[in-house]
Structure 1
Amino acid sequence: MSDISSHVPAPPPEWVRNFAKTGLTAKGVVYCLVGVLAFMAAFEINGNSTEEASREGVFRLILQQPFGKALLAIVALGLFCYTIWRFIQGFIDTEHQGHDTKGVGKRIRYIFSGLVYGSLAFLSAKMVLGSGGNSGGSSQQTLASKLLQQPFGQWLVGMVAIGITAIGIYQIYYGLSDKYRKKVRSSGLKSDIENKLIQMGKFGYLARGVVWLVIGYLFLQAALKANPQEAGGNTRAFQFLEDSSYGSFVLGAVALGLICYGIFLFMRAKFQPIGAS
């Protein structure tokens, strides 16, 4: 029995579990609010535009609520917890991905995710303290501009475009393949409720994939035209969708998908098994 028990993974420390669940909840809040703002922008509810439908816009919205600074501080702390959890997954390999090419790729993805949400945690913390949130231009345009100034700059921006597009394709594949279901296995919910929430996850991953594909296309345009102003993030992607044929309905559908993804993250926070080294 002792030989068997030595191969059974130990349960994660309680603080790791708390970091993961707090982080997933905070991420879910952000996605739900981004989806709400994007939906309002799609149909011009209360005069909202796609400019407000960004993560920075979400932070401003939270600040405008009663006890807004306290609420945003909680969200910032949650995003920081998510960042730490992603770094733990990537550097310590608590998910046992291994050291082969596939495993290392997944661990790099965890670390990249941690960096992204770490920057969001930093931005939200700055806004709580009364600074930040008013920088000119987007971070994506800044990145494109710096890359274009390097030798073979257009090729570098093109490579970023390919990488972002690959992420979008993978998000759509991940949703259609139902691989995301393993994140909430054995949730213990009634089957009909669980199925509805899982379908929300599928819709959410598809919506995320669409947004990533549009961002990849915008970077490709920046590369082809050698113009960093062509690049953009969520806000530009939402504007691109809104300007397309039947744009309001397309953007509205993507916005609902992002809300569904946020709800699915709440489900993950409740039921996802958390790995340990």
Structure 2
Amino acid sequence: MSTADTLLAAVPRSPSAGIKALARLGFAAIGVVYVLMGVLALLAALSRDHGVQADKEAAVKHLQDLPAGNLLLGLIAVGLLGYIIWRFTQAIRDTESQGSGAKGWSFRLWYICSGLFYSGLALYAGRLALSGHADEGTDASKSLAATILGWPSGDWLLIFLGLVTIGIGLFQGYRAYSHKLQSDVDGQDLTGTQQRLVYRAAQVGVTARGVVVSLIGYFFVEAGWQSRAAEAGSTNEALGLLAGMGPLVLGVVAAGLVLYGLYSLVQARYPILHGL
């Protein structure tokens, strides 16, 4: 039995009901992380302190200082795990009815990558919850870049990865302004004004996230072009680059990340989960 099958088998109640609950908890966990990350970036913009850590790990670590911090960290870890399970379920069951053609398999691959994107953060939050500390270790982006550069034609592969990542970031902007976000939230219980507010928040938030993802892709391209893993960077480096453009630029993107987090919390409350 595969790891995915083992996790899915452990879901309580009916599989569909359990996975729905995990998906909603996952959206909530992502929402909390992005709100905190955006707030940290906003504080950095207001204080003009380019050295402030404002990535996902820093956001999660700040939960330790809150009442019942370990419990909150545990819920974040479980929520992110739930999101991963839901994304794998989308890929395995083809819940979005994308089919078995090239387009369908590309979407399934995207679902898997989207889930795995939060796996390191889930592990980090879990370790903090259980032991009160966790080694942040080497930057994951730099580690990945170093590994790829060790392969034959690794520099070109890294440039390709960077271009794909930039494409994903640009695709976020396309989703934000092509009315596709309207299918992410069940707005039946929301008034017309509330629906418009949620949609506008989603547009700004998804665009801000796309900007950060595109910058991470740019760092990969630079690392491949210069054959130096040190040129790769993650969210914190992306926000640092934006800070170098001025506090206003960083502040706008940071506010967008807060809105993305709030949008994820709305998704947790009013999700649309196909095929479950």
After TM superposition, the score normalised by the length of structure 2 is: 0.90
User: Offset of 1:275 from its aligned partner?
Assistant: 1.7
Task: Give the alignment of 1:189-200 within 5 angstroms.
Answer: 189-200=190-201
Structure 1 CA distance for aligned equivalents of residues 228 and 175 of structure 2 = 32
Task: String of CA shifts for 1:124-167, please: whole Å, max 9, x gaps.
Answer: 111222342331x3100011111112211110110110111010
- What residue number does 2:250 align with? 251
- What residue number does 1:58 align with? 59
Residues 1:113 and 2:105 are matched in the alignment:
no
- What residue number does 2:5 align with? none
- What residue number does 1:132 align with? 134
Task: Give the alignment of 1:160-239 within 5 angstroms.
Answer: 160-239=161-240
Structure 2 CA distance for aligned equivalents of residues 98 and 179 of structure 1 = 19
User: Offset of 1:185 from its aligned partner?
Assistant: 4.3
> Once superposed, which parts of structure 1, at least 4 consecutive aligned residues long, lie more than 2 Å away?
48-51, 129-134, 185-188
Task: String of CA shifts for 1:23-54, please: whole Å, max 9, x gaps.
Answer: 11111111111111111111228xx6554201
Cα gap change, 1:134/1:208 in structure 2, threshold over 3 Å: closer, same or farther? closer
- What residue number does 1:91 align with? 92
Identity value in percent: 34
Structure ID, larger Rg: 1
Structure 2 CA distance for aligned equivalents of residues 53 and 182 of structure 1 = 30
Helix, strand or coil at the partner of 1:13: helix
Root mean square deviation of aligned Cα: 1.7
Contact 1:31/1:259 (<8 A) preserved: yes
Contact 2:37/2:257 (<8 A) preserved: yes
Structure 1 CA distance for aligned equivalents of residues 247 and 269 of structure 2 = 33
Structure 2 CA distance for aligned equivalents of residues 133 and 181 of structure 1 = 39
- What residue number does 1:24 align with? 27
Structure 2 CA distance for aligned equivalents of residues 50 and 199 of structure 1 = 31
Unaligned runs of 5+ in 2: 1-13
**Count of aligned positions:** 262
Which residue identity lines up with residue 16 of structure 1 in the other structure?
A: I
Cα gap change, 1:201/1:78 in structure 2, threshold over 3 Å: closer, same or farther? same
Residues 1:38 and 2:41 are matched in the alignment:
yes
Structure 2 CA distance for aligned equivalents of residues 72 and 149 of structure 1 = 36
- What residue number does 2:262 align with? 263
